[in-house]
Amino acid sequence: MGWRAGRLAAAVGAVALVARPAAAQSAPLEGLDDYVTAAMEAWRVPGLALAVIADGEVVHARGYGVRDVRTGAPVDEHTLFAAGSTSKAFTSAALGLLVDEGRVSWDDRVIDHIPWFAMYDPYATRELTVRDLLTHRSGLARGDAVWSRWPHDRREIIRRVRFLEPTRSFRGAWQYQNLMFLTAGEVVWAASGRTWDDFVDERIFTPLGMDRSVTSVTELDRFDNVATPHVHVDGVATPVEHKNIDNVGPAGSVYSSVAQMARWVDLHLAGGVHAGQRLFSDSVMVEMHRPQMLIQADAPENRLHPRDAPMNFNAYGLAWWIIDYRGRKVVDHGGGIDGMRAHVAFMPEEGLGMVALSNARPNNLIVALMYRVFDHFLGVGGGDKPDVGDAPDAGGAMADWSALMLAEYRESAAAQADARSRRQADRAAGTAPSRPLTEYAGSYGHEYYGAVDITHENGTLRFSLGGKTTGRLEHWHYDVFRAVPDNPANGEMFMTLTVGPDGVVGVLEVEGLGSFGRL
- What does the pLDDT read at residue 296? 74
Rounded to two decimals, the pTM is: 0.91
Distance of alpha carbon 204 from alpha carbon 112, whole angstroms: 25
Largest CA distance in the chain: 82
Q: 453: which strand partners? A: 443, 464
Nearest to 368 by CA among 388, 348, 383: 388
DSSP 214: B
Distance of alpha carbon 338 from alpha carbon 430, whole angstroms: 36
Residue 16, by phi and psi: left (phi above 0), alpha (psi -120 to 50) or beta? beta
Residue 154 carries which side chain, given as an amino acid letter? Answer: R
Phi, psi of 445 (to 5 degrees): -120, 155
Distance of alpha carbon 375 from alpha carbon 507, whole angstroms: 55
Distance of alpha carbon 69 from alpha carbon 47, whole angstroms: 9
Distance of alpha carbon 345 from alpha carbon 332, whole angstroms: 4
Architecture label for domain 5-92+194-415: 3-Layer(aba) Sandwich (3.40)
Distance of alpha carbon 335 from alpha carbon 179, whole angstroms: 15
Distance of alpha carbon 330 from alpha carbon 345, whole angstroms: 7
- What does the pLDDT read at residue 39? 97
| Cα distance between the two ends of the chain | 63
DSSP, collapsed to helix, strand or coil, labels residue 54 as strand
Q: What is the 3-state secondary structure (H, E, C) of 59-85?
A: EEEEEEEECCCCCCCECCCCCEEECHH
- What does the pLDDT read at residue 30? 85
| CB of 447 closer than 8 Å to CB of 163 | yes
Kindly report each contact of residues 426-431 with a partner whose C-beta sits within 8 Å and lies 24 or more positions away, as own/partner: 427/476, 427/477, 428/477, 428/478, 429/477, 431/477, 431/478
Distance of alpha carbon 146 from alpha carbon 150, whole angstroms: 6
Phi, psi of 195 (to 5 degrees): -60, 160
pLDDT digits (tens), the chain, 519 positions = 333 333 233 223 333 454 333 333 344 588 999 999 999 999 999 999 999 999 999 999 999 999 999 999 999 999 999 999 999 999 999 999 999 999 999 999 999 999 999 999 999 999 999 999 999 999 999 999 999 999 999 999 999 999 999 999 999 999 999 999 999 999 999 999 999 999 999 999 999 999 999 999 999 999 999 999 999 998 899 999 999 999 999 999 999 999 999 999 999 999 999 999 999 999 999 999 999 999 875 555 566 666 667 788 899 999 999 999 999 999 999 999 999 999 999 999 999 999 999 999 989 999 999 999 999 999 886 544 333 334 343 345 678 999 999 999 999 999 999 999 999 999 999 999 999 999 999 999 999 999 999 999 999 999 999 999 999 999 999 999 999 999 988 989 999 999 999 999 999 999 999 999 999
| CB of 354 closer than 8 Å to CB of 52 | yes
Rounded alpha-carbon distances, angstroms, from residue 140 to 153, 166, 170, 185, 453: 20, 4, 8, 18, 27
Nearest to 158 by CA among 191, 193, 133, 126: 133
Give Cα 486 distance to the centre of its chain.
23
Domain boundaries along the sequence of the chain: 5-92+194-415, 437-518
The b/e string for 342-353 (b: 16+ C-beta within 10 A; e otherwise) is bbbbbbbebbbb
Distance of alpha carbon 335 from alpha carbon 252, whole angstroms: 8
| H or E element that contains 266 | helix 258-269
Architecture label for domain 437-518: Beta Barrel (2.40)
| H or E element that contains 410 | helix 401-425
| CA atoms within a 13 Å half-sphere pointing along the CA-CB vector of 31 | 14
CA angle centred on 88, ends 342 and 408, rounded to 5°: 40
Nearest to 486 by CA among 473, 499, 497: 473
